Amino acid sequence: MKTYTNVKDLGDLKAAVKEALEIKKNRYAYKHLGENKTLLMVFFNSSLRTRLSTQKAGMNLGMNTIVLDINQGAWKLETERGVIMDGDKTEHLLEAIPVMGCYCDIIGVRAFAQFENKQDDYEEKILNQFIKYSGKPVFSMEAATGHPLQAFADLITIEEYKKTERPKVVLTWAPHPKALPQAVPNSFADFMNEADVDFVITHPEGYELGSQFVRGAKIEYDQDKALAGADFVYAKNWAAYTDPNYGKILSKDRAWTISTEKMALTNNAYFMHCLPVRRNMIVTDEVIESPQSIVIPEAANREISAQTVIKRILENL
């Protein structure tokens, strides 16, 4: 594997999940692979899980790991070419990226959608410059349009908890006070569409996601109908994708919050969320604290998805 930005990079998805579950059984079995290799993790945005789990994954593989927070101590970076740099930006991304590439063997990048220019976001302007100019294999740690390490961990978790061959998995929009990217729901849809599940997406009108991610998934605008018979409820907020509302909040309707009443409509479903989650906006205290909530094992699987991806990249260096 040379880059990891979406489900296709994993090839045979069943084989990838199988490999991940094998790694989980003995996560130190490949410690030799990363010897004298350095993983650089570059963050343009905050993180708790991705930072810790990816660093841990690299260490499990015997790698040295370096974390760079661009907004804390690094020079302010200009990202546009042709700009006369007489403002507050000290360094250009076009020098910074190849320099970062000099000090490592693999680079993970977190660069969220900025909601300033839809085309820039959906062309993955920042991530693709790392791929093009770093000279090193690059993987996404949540970029503008996707969070494939999260979705891979989600699929591993569903595989571990499913009680039927083909479970019903419902991705539901839920309210949030701030405009959030579509990266998590995009990647979740990207993966579920390739997995052996009955996949349904529910959201208020106006929150349609990009067709390149939704593909053939069922859309149900009535959340109660969507939840009926669900085996897994995956809640997430996202801001509008479609024009002219790209990046806007259209609703904060708490009728969409996942509550005990909503969960009662399901087939005793498991509750999932990528975290961080705002309680009593996305999900009530009762539901997230219930035995059906698997948000912690889901987060734990981030170490496993990251390790599977980094292992495959190391094997191809």
Residue list, annotated binding site for N(2)-succinyl-L-ornithine? 142, 176, 236, 278
**Closest residue to ligand AN0, Cβ-based?**
180
Listed ranges 36-44, 88-96, 180-188, 298-306: which one lies at the site for ligand AN0 (CB under 6 A): 180-188
Q: Which residue has the tokens 């905050």?
A: 46
Output 43 or 133, the one with its CB closest to ligand CP.
43
Amino acid present at 179: A
The reply to whether 47 sits near ligand CP by the rule CB under 6 A is yes
The reply to whether 127 sits near ligand AN0 by the rule CB under 6 A is no
Q: Is 40 helix (H, G, I), strand (E, B) or coil?
A: strand
The reply to whether 180 sits near ligand AN0 by the rule CB under 6 A is yes
Output 52 or 228, the one with its CB closest to ligand CP.
52
Tokens representing 125 are 């302007």
The reply to whether 274 sits near ligand CP by the rule CB under 6 A is yes
First CA to last CA across the chain, in angstroms?
A: 9
The reply to whether 274 sits near ligand AN0 by the rule CB under 6 A is yes
Work out what residue 193 binds among ligand CP, ligand AN0, none; the CB cut-off runs from 5 to 8 Å by kind: none
User: Is residue 124 left, alpha or beta, with left meaning phi > 0 and alpha meaning psi from -120 to 50?
Assistant: left
The reply to whether 50 sits near ligand CP by the rule CB under 6 A is yes
Answer for the pair 258, 198: CB distance below 8 angstroms, yes or no.
Answer: no
- Numbered residues of the known binding site for carbamoyl phosphate: 47-50, 75, 110, 147-150, 274-275, 302
Q: In whole angstroms, how far apart are CA 265 and each of 138, 226, 253?
A: 42, 9, 19
Indicate the angle between helix axes 49-60 and 295-315, nearest 10 degrees.
50
Enumerate residues 183-242 that contact ligand AN0 by CB under 6 A: 183-184
**Closest residue to ligand CP, Cβ-based?**
50
CA distance 112 to 121: 8
Answer for the pair 187, 4: CB distance below 8 angstroms, yes or no.
Answer: no
The residues of the shown chain that bind ligand AN0, judged by CB under 6 A, are 142, 180-181, 183-184, 274, 276
